[in-house]
Amino acid sequence: MNKKIGFIGCGNMAKAMITSIIKAGLVSPKDIFASDAYQPGLDDAKTRLGISTTMDNKEVVKTCDVIFLAVKPNMYDSVMKELAPLGDGKIFVSIAPGKTLDYLENGLGKNTKILRTMPNTPAMVGAGVTAICPNKNITQEDQEVLETVIGTFGTVERIEEKLFDTVVAVSGSSPAYVFMFIEAMADAAVLQGMARDKAYRFAAQAVLGSAKMVLETKRHPGDLKDMVCSPGGTTIEGVAVLEEKGMRFAVIQAMNAVHDKSGKM
Write out the binding residues: 8-13, 57, 70-73
* CA atoms within 13 Å, Cβ hemisphere of 97: 20
CA-CA distance, 43 to 174, in Å (whole number)?
Answer: 30
Distance of CA 182 to the CA centre of its chain: 19
- Which ranges of the chain does DSSP label H, i.e. alpha helix? 12-23, 39-49, 57-63, 76-83, 101-108, 140-150, 164-167, 174-191, 196-217, 221-228, 234-244, 247-264
3-state secondary structure of 265: coil
Write out the binding residues for NADPH: 57
Identity of the amino acid at 117: T
3-state secondary structure of 130: strand
Write out the binding residues for NADP(+): 8-13, 70-73
